[in-house]
Amino acid sequence: MVKEEGKFKWLEEGTKGQPIILLHGLMGGVENFGEMVDYISEEYKVYGLDLKLFEGKLLKVSVKGLSDYLYAFMEHLGLESAVLMGNSMGGHIGLIFAKDNPEKVDGLILTGSSGLFESSMGNSFPRRGDKDYIRVKTEEVFYDPKVATDDLVDRVFEIANNRMSILKLLGYAKSAIRHNMAEDIPNINKPVSLIWGAEDKVTPPHVAEEFHKLLPDSELNWIPLCGHAAMWEHPKRFSELVLEFLKKRF
C-alpha cells in the first residue's frame, strides 16, 4: 500500500511488531525491496520511504539532508524509534541518522552499504545517450544480469538523459564521498546485521568486512551468487536472515 501525505510518499505493509524503515539507494526506489517486503511484513510493520532523490532543489542535495528527511518522516508518523534497513546509499543514510539520533534507532540492517567506500560512485556513470553502456552498468549491480530487466534499464536510461537528474546524482555521490563514516562507526552502539552479496562489485566483500570490524555490535552474513542488491536478487534468503536477526535481538 502506497501512501502520500504532505511531502512524504511511502510504502506501508504489515500491522504489528517492530517498525522497520526501508531506505533505498541512489539509483533505486522502494520497489527495489520487492518480494522481501511480503516476507517481512507478515511479522513486522514495514515502511518503505521514497527519498524523492530527483525532486526538489539542487542546493539541497546531500546525504545529511536525506537523514534529516528521515527524521521528519518519523516525526510525521509519530514513530519514536525503528530498525533501519538500508541498501547502498540508503545504508549510509541510516548510519548518519544513527550517529545523529541514536535514541530513534533500535538497530540497523545494512546491505551493500556506502559510508566507507565510495570510489565507484559517480566516476563514469551514467553516460548520456548510450543505452548499451547503461545496460552494462546496470547489469553489473547484480550477479545474474537477467535481474536487470528492460524496465529497469529504461528507468536508469531516463535518469541518465535528464540533465538535472544527473547533476543531483553526482551531487549525492560527492556528498557520500565527503561524508565518510570510518571515524563515526565505532561509536554506533546498536545491533547491526550486515547482509552482503558475496559477488558485490559496487561495495566489494572487503567493505563488509571493514564494517564488521568497526561496528561494536555486528554480525556478517554472506549470500552467495549475489551482487549489490541482495534483498532484490535473493529476497527469500535475505528475508530469512533479517527475520533471524530481528527475532534474536528484539
CATH code: domain of residue 99: 3.40.50.1820
User: How many CA atoms does the CB half-sphere of 234 hold within 13 Å?
Assistant: 23
Full residue range of the structural domain in which residue 73 is found: 2-118+179-249
Residue 139 lies in a domain: no
Domain annotation covers residue 163: no
Provide the 3-class DSSP secondary structure of residue 52.
coil
* Section 163-187 average pLDDT: 91
What phi and psi values does residue 51 have, to the nearest 5 degrees? -80, -5
Is residue 209 situated within a structural domain?
yes
| Count: domains in the chain | 1
Q: What percent of the chain is modeled with pLDDT above 90?
A: 74
Q: Is residue 147 situated within a structural domain?
A: no
Domain assignment present for residue 131? The answer is: no
Q: What integer pLDDT is reported at residue 119 of this predicted model? A: 53
pLDDT at residue number 60: 75
pLDDT bracket for residue 239 (50, 70, 90) = very high
Q: Is residue 19 reached through a cis peptide bond, with omega within 30 degrees of 0 on the bond before it?
A: no
Residue 123 lies in a domain: no
Question: What b-and-e string marks burial along 85-119, b requiring 16 or more CB atoms within 10 Å of the CB?
Answer: bbbbbbbbbbbbbbeeeeebbbbbbbbbbbbbbbe
Q: Determine the pLDDT at residue 120.
A: 47
CA angle in degrees (0–180, nearest 5) for 6-10-12: 125
β-bridge mates for residue 10, sequence order = 3, 49
Residue 110 falls within a domain, yes or no?
Answer: yes
Q: Which among 137, 174, 26, 41 is positioned nearest to 91, based on CA atoms?
A: 26
Helix (H) or strand (E) holding 111: strand 105-111
Residue 125 lies in a domain: no
